């Protein structure tokens, strides 16, 4: 009887151990390694707007105009294929002091690409951005916000840091929930060091455009400054951007 108890205990340990290891690699695990960022702890009332999936000839331009009007900065996680189509928008981002970051070349699902393919997606987008702006991005956001060891390693292969967004600052603007709902969500949950997720490509992004201006007006009155993700990261001592 004792022998069977020991056998069951060993089998149980073998089965559960991998799960325990996997469970550690959640947000807490990756934040502890410094390889993925969701928020930046700071006392400064700084907040970073990020825009995924563009550029779009209409909506990205409208967002750039609003940001310029209010002297606000943002980070654009661009898709390489679309960046090639609208290089003038990347140049405008650069000229206005915004940050341009990597969001893959074709926007594939992370679960459907291997390490080699993902590394190539990131590399191609780096080449496109560098060809247009003369600078290589150092931030990467995986499509769909899917993170894993594969994503982190592919990002490191290109000397990138993986950037997510604050869990309370997913605007879900891709679903067109209504301008006021987007505004309320961002403003109600705004905290120093937040990273806010918007999209400037996809369906009709009019709600996003309208919400961005209202949010800037509201949070400006509360003392917030709108900065790029790298500016926000300057409050995070362990991360030092590579200069090119």
Q: What percent of the chain has pLDDT over 70?
A: 87
What pLDDT does 10 receive?
Answer: 40
Flag whether pLDDT at 203 surpasses 80: yes
Query: Among residues 52, 53, 126, 173, which one is catalytic?
Result: 52
Instruction: Note the pLDDT tens digit of each residue in 204-235.
Output: 999 999 999 999 999 999 999 999 999 999 99
pLDDT band at 236 (very low <50, low <70, confident <90, very high): confident
The C-alpha angle with vertex 68 and arms to 222 and 74, in degrees rounded to 5, equals 70
Question: Model-level pTM?
Answer: 0.88
What pLDDT does 31 receive?
Answer: 92
Identify any residues that bridge with 197 across adjacent strands, giving them in sequence order: 50, 170
Q: What percent of the chain has pLDDT over 90?
A: 86
Please give the average per-residue pLDDT across 170-197, as a whole number: 98
| 199 counts as catalytic | yes
CA distance 181 to 226: 20
| 39 counts as catalytic | no
The C-alpha angle with vertex 150 and arms to 87 and 159, in degrees rounded to 5, equals 50
Query: Among residues 56, 103, 160, 199, which one is catalytic?
Result: 199
Neighbours of 43 (CB within 10 A): 8
């Amino acid at each position: 009887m004792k022998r069977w108890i020991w056998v069951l205990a060993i089998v149980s340990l073998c089965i559960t151990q991998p799960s325990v290891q996997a469970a550690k690699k959640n947000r807490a695990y990756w934040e502890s390694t410094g390889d993925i960022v969701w928020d930046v702890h700071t006392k400064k009332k700084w907040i970073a707007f990020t825009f995924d999936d563009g550029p779009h000839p209409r909506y990205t331009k409208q967002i750039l105009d609003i940001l310029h009007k209010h002297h606000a900065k943002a980070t654009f996680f661009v898709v390489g294929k679309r960046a090639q189509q609208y290089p003038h928008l990347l140049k405008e981002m650069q000229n206005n002091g915004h940050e341009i970051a990597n969001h893959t070349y074709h926007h594939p699902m992370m679960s459907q690409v291997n390490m080699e393919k993902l590394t190539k997606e990131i590399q191609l987008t780096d080449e496109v951005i560098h060809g247009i702006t003369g600078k290589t991005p150092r931030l990467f956001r995986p499509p769909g916000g899917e993170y894993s060891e594969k994503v982190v390693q592919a990002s490191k292969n290109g000397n990138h840091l993986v950037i997510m967004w604050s869990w309370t600052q997913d605007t879900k603007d891709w679903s067109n929930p209504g301008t006021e709902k987007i505004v309320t969500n961002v403003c109600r949950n705004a905290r120093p060091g937040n990273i806010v997720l918007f999209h400037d490509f996809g369906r009709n992004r009019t709600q996003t455009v309208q919400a961005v201006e209202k949010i800037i007006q509201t949070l400006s009155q509360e003392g917030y400054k709108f900065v790029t993700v790298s500016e926000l990261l300057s409050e995070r001592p362990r991360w030092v951007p590579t200069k090119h």
